[in-house]
Chain A
Amino acid sequence: MRRRVFITGIGLVSPHGTQPEAVFERLCAGQSAIRKLRSGTEDLGADCLLAPSEFSIEGVIPKTQSFAMDRVAQMAVVAAHHALHRAGIVREEEAPVPSEAGVYFGCGLGGSQAIQDAYRTYFERRSRRPKPTTVPLIMANAPAAHISMRYKLQGPSLTYSIACASSAIAIGEAFRAVRDGYVDSVLAGGAESMMNDGTLAAWEMLGVLAKEHPEGAAASSRPFAVDRSGFVLGEGAAALMLESEESMRTRGAAPVAELVGFGCASDAHNLTQPATGGQAQAMRKALADAHLAPERIGYINAHATATPAGDNVEIDAIKQAFGAHARALSVSSTKSMHGHLVGAAGALECAITALALRHRRVPPTAFLRNQDPACDLDCVPCVARDVPDLEFALSNSFAFGGTNATLILRRA
């Protein structure tokens, strides 16, 4: 028997802030959180386009836990904290009560700063003694583990590492686990923070990052535009409390949105170049999973990272999956404003999609002044749009390595 699954609380540590409603407002206003920052030192470093996230662990993570947490895990716990509070599961001033809830989290890399620190000890100091917490700082399952520990969540704590699709798949698998009765509630989401200079240098060499646009650093992430040049790395965490309908109603909680479909398919094609077939298949599978005809979808939060090769492939895949209805869709990429959060991208964008349904308002693709003719769908250029009859929306996350994930949400 398939149970209905609802999102009952959202927590964010994002380039636009930590309050979901304020974040959504800023996105709808077309505000970019992208900046040019100095990475590394004067003699070994570079100016980089980045979407950093500010946050505080004060009052959320005790020092007895935080000393063994890299930035990525700290962001994850802060996002989880807010999601659990907003869902009414953890209350202010009260110690968390042990529960059977699971944690399904995406993380692409892990404790990136700790990796760099450990190698510095080895190569610069010629020492075989990095700090004792090095292994737990680095391990990619640290975010999920720390959430589980901090909030006494005793169900399965799982980490999905699938590059740009990590947290979309974590949410999708959590959705299936709750729907199919394996667990009644899951804190699902993702976290990523890899803004240490060594890692940024590696990303630069891959040739996928945006160049600074003549209009300025903030305007450099330009999905679907003729002058797009690549993506801007972001960092952050997003946590969504998922519950079965019964769990939600028993607690008297209110839903933010409902999860209704998840589809996943691989390109089996190329390490960094996407293919339409696998993307279209993920979308078709999600629609089938949700028992929805394509015409029911009103909005797609696209994966579109603003790489020259990628955006048009997604547009073609949408046309394949949706047929004639593709022309009636609103398709926007909020990466134009918050950048690419990699392991946390799917979760942040799922949260944004949930808010779009709640408000019946879709955020724009910012800076889309000269649309690429090869991306010829309605990409909501520059200005947010009210969609009064918005009922179902879809969020895409397509990863390096060719794994494609699609989530479908319903307004609650």
Chain B
Amino acid sequence: MSTFAEIQAMLTSKFDVKPELIQPDAKLVDLGLDSLSIAELIFDIGEKYDIEIPEDDLEFQTSLKDAVALVDKLRAAKAA
């Protein structure tokens, strides 16, 4: 499964985010999540891929597209 699809699954299963809202250009803030939910999501992503996401790199205004790119970059760096 692609990173985008995995994050999409986390959003729908843990937070019941409506699938139609989960678009690459959607910002995290547009998904109907509050700040605590976003913090939890970032934590879960970090746990899932065993990567550490720097605090300022992923937040409210980050688009899903950019979030996926960041995660892939961190995963690749870890594998190297």
Contact = CB atoms under 8 A, between A and B. Distances in A.
A132 B40 CA distance: 6
A68 B37 CA distance: 8
Q: Is the interface of B mostly helix, strand, loop or mixed?
A: helix
A62 B34 CA distance: 14
Contacts of B36: 68, 132-133, 136
A62 B32 CA distance: 13
Nearest to A136: B36
Contacts of A133: 36, 39-40
| Chain B interface residue bracket vs A | 10 to 19
B43 A63 contact: no
A94 B66 CA distance: 38
B34 to A, nearest CB: 8
B32 A67 contact: no
A131 B33 contact: no
Contacts of A132: 36, 39-40, 43
B16 interface: yes
Nearest to B12: A63
A64 interface: yes
A131 B34 CA distance: 16
A64 B43 contact: no
Nearest to A132: B39
A149 to B, nearest CB: 11
A172 B40 CA distance: 38
A387 to B, nearest CB: 49
Contacts of B16: 62-64
A64 B32 CA distance: 9
B2 to A, nearest CB: 23
Contacts of A63: 14-16
A67 B40 CA distance: 9
Contacts of A68: 36-37, 40
A410 to B, nearest CB: 44
A64 B37 contact: yes
A62, A132, A136: which has the most chain B beta carbons within 10 Å?
A: A132
Contact of A131 (B15, B32, B40): B40
A67 B43 contact: no
Nearest to A133: B40
B15 A67 contact: yes
A131 B32 CA distance: 20
Contacts of A131: 40, 43
Interface string A56-70: 000000111001100
Given A62-B16, A68-B37, 20 more contacts: A63-B15, A64-B16, A64-B32, A64-B33, A64-B34, A64-B37, A67-B14, A67-B15, A67-B37, A68-B36, A68-B40, A131-B40, A131-B43, A132-B36, A132-B40, A132-B43, A133-B36, A133-B39, A133-B40, A136-B36
23 contacts: A63-B14, A63-B16, A64-B15, A64-B16, A64-B32, A64-B33, A64-B34, A67-B14, A67-B15, A67-B37, A67-B40, A68-B36, A68-B37, A68-B40, A129-B43, A131-B40, A131-B43, A132-B36, A132-B39, A132-B40, A132-B43, A133-B36, A136-B36
